[in-house]
Amino acid sequence: MTKILDLPSSKSQSAKSSPIASPVAMPDGIAWHRWLLPLQGAMAVNEPPLDRLAIEAELDSYATCKTPVNRSKLLSCLRTHLDQAKASLCESFYHSNDGAVYVGMHAWVIDILLQSLYAQTQKQCVGGDELALIAVGGYGRGEMAPFSDIDIMFLMPKKVTETHTKFIEFMLYILWDLGLKIGHSTRSLTESIDAANDDQTVLTSLLEMRHVAGDNSMWVKLNRAVQRKIAKQKPLAYVEEKLGERDLRHKRFGDTRYVVEPNVKDGKGGLRDLHSLFWITKYAYRANSIIEIVKKGVLRDAEARKFALAQRFLWTVRCHLHLHADRPEERLDFEAQMIIAPRLGFADRGGLRGVERFMKRYYLAARSVGNLTRIFCAAMETDFRKSLIDWRPDFLRTHELDPFHIESGRVRLADDVLFRDAPIRLIELFAIAQKHDADVHPSTLQRVTRALSTLDSKTRDDAQANQLFLDILTSRKNPERVLRLMNESGVFGRFLPDFGRIVAMMQFDMYHSYTVDEHTLKAIGILHGIETGALRQAAPIATEVMPEIGSRRALYVAMLLHDIAKGRSGNHSVLGAEVALVVCPRLGLSHEETETVSWLILHHLLMSKIAFRYDLNDPQTIEDFASIVQSPERL
């Protein structure tokens, strides 16, 4: 069991008096609210991680009445206090395993450091009263992993003088000498707005900005200017661009959240996807936090809590990853998985190694991120596109699918019809999507997620529901797409509980590139490619013999179930063959088909085992193989 620190609910007096300005109110006493606002949550319940008064007293002791502290003393003092604070954060993190606390406290450390340095720079240089130091990017959100960049902006007056430049350079050189990785920009208010007009990345960074030090009135003016700019824009234009950026990023990292060595930050289902939802929240709904989105009715309380849990877990993993690598590493490779799993308390249990249980937890968190993205998209479709739906030509809708209709290539359940009144509709939905090459409307997927609990044993035993599922699996159109959609929505594992057990299950070896469920879905897609001839060049023999197979249904069901018993104590081929004897009749397969499926699963590793471990030139090897296979159909 993972050891996660339960945060206390009381606020420290020192946190209340912090000089840090923020447009976001302090979170209430609910723990998961603080996970959504790491910096504000840290300030609400903890003492400051750096003692600014102690730093200033030490520096004052080095100064004389006429000259401020010299640069080397300033650097030494700040480095000592920074190193002590980071060491303390690291020790606390290894005790609590709470990434949300770490990233918030680390951001607070940097805030106090910058405020102290800014105050000392004002004693060394003039011009500081006319500048504002603004936190942007991840630092602006109040989220700092151990080796995150510190993104800051110096907000300047209209007329920049040499004194302003010297002030900024003094600060930057100290920060660089401290070994901090600083991402900085220097702009006036007008230049900031112009840059935001030209570059969505700049606009996004301004959505996350916080005042840290200097002239607060300048930050207030910039914040108001940004809000005025947003008010004049159409939310969907920004949202669609951000979702487009997300899709391109996903393609760079494999376009699946189920790779065995995922990128925690930029991969599909990673932290960057949560950041995208945060940006959409800020821009489209003029909200400062996910908590405000709940109050606006966009998310339910339970959905926001899932957001918080996913974010907290991903932050915890990322912090461990940085500390293990001693650098800003985002790829959760095999070595890191082996190190981090026991640190989070994952031990071997129930046929699964500790590292496999850890990665299953990771993939489930990544899937939650995908579900939340769909819910956001559904809400925006409803809130911002109502006027667009009215003018769409009627031929874009198919009315004979009552209670469903196809709208712009997406299947949608009528608003006045509920899944819970007839849970078989959860299967019908995907059968229609498969038959008509359609996607599923985001609002309907949102309703699917909320109705999963209604898919019970009665629906699982329903003959019509099983026939619909079998039709999807054995469709002449590639079933991989719709089966993956069923899996992502949670319907697949709910309808076929044995499959649910392998969802997000990692295969900790060098032979598999995906989780068990993703491997299975890709295998079904490859089988379809062989059948249609799309893979003739890669698999010519398999393509040639495929039309000679007597039972397509048995082959596709065997492909679905071949790894169904992974993660259980015992031989997964033997156990999987036993599962098939139960599942196949439920799906409507005949006794003969059931026996074939069970045999295929039992021996699905036989050919590769003989090919790689035995002498194929030995006649006895061939005879032994033939005695097991017995027929060309099984072969």
Confidence of residue 84 (pLDDT cuts 50, 70, 90): very high
pLDDT band at 243 (very low <50, low <70, confident <90, very high): confident
Least confident window among 161-170, 182-191, 292-301, 491-500: 292-301
**Residue for token pair 């590639």:** 478
Spatial contact of 588 and 466, defined as CB atoms under 8 Å apart: yes
Count of all residues that appear for the chain in the document: 635
pLDDT at 611: 75
Helices (H), ranges, 178-234: 189-198, 200-207, 216-232
Mean pLDDT of the chain: 86
Residue 95 or residue 409, greater confidence: 95
pLDDT in tens, 428-459: 999 999 999 988 888 888 889 889 999 999 99
Residue 253 has pLDDT above 50, yes or no: yes
Query: Which tokens is 633 given?
Result: 């159909």
> What's the confidence (pLDDT) of residue 442?
80
Look up tokens 């596109």; give the residue: 385
Burial of 244 (0-12, 13-18, 19+ CB in 10 A): exposed
User: Is 80 exceeded by the pLDDT of residue 66?
Assistant: no
- Above pLDDT 70, what percent of the chain? 91
pLDDT (mean) for 122-126: 89
Angle at 563 between CA 586 and CA 344, to 5 degrees: 115
The residue among 276 and 84 whose pLDDT is bigger is: 84
Q: 230 with 283: CB under 8 angstroms?
A: yes
Is 70 exceeded by the pLDDT of residue 3? no
> How many other C-beta atoms lie within 10 A of the C-beta of residue 154?
21
Spatial separation of the C-alpha atoms in residues 115 and 214, rounded to whole Å: 8
Which CATH architecture describes the domain 13-232? 2-Layer Sandwich (3.30)
The rounded distance, in Å, linking the Cα atoms of 8 and 562 is 48
Q: What is the pLDDT of residue 19?
A: 36
- The pLDDT value recorded for residue 614 is 78
What percent of the chain lies above the pLDDT cut of 90?
A: 49
Integer CA distances (angstroms), 111 to 67, 143, 145, 515, in order: 26, 12, 14, 41
Domains of the chain by residue range: 13-232, 238-391, 463-629
User: Is the domain defined by 238-391 classed in CATH 1.10.287.70?
Assistant: no
Of 162 and 319, more confident:
319
> What would the two tokens of residue 479 be?
């079933």
Q: Is the pLDDT higher at 29 or at 525?
A: 525
- Output the pLDDT for position 399: 46
Residue 331 φ then ψ, to 5° = -90, 120
pLDDT at 570: 84
Question: In the structure encoding, which two tokens stand for residue 10, read together?
Answer: 């009381």
Determine contact, residues 270/263, Cβ cutoff 8 Å.
yes
Categorize the per-residue pLDDT at 508 as very low, low, confident or very high, splitting at 50, 70 and 90.
low
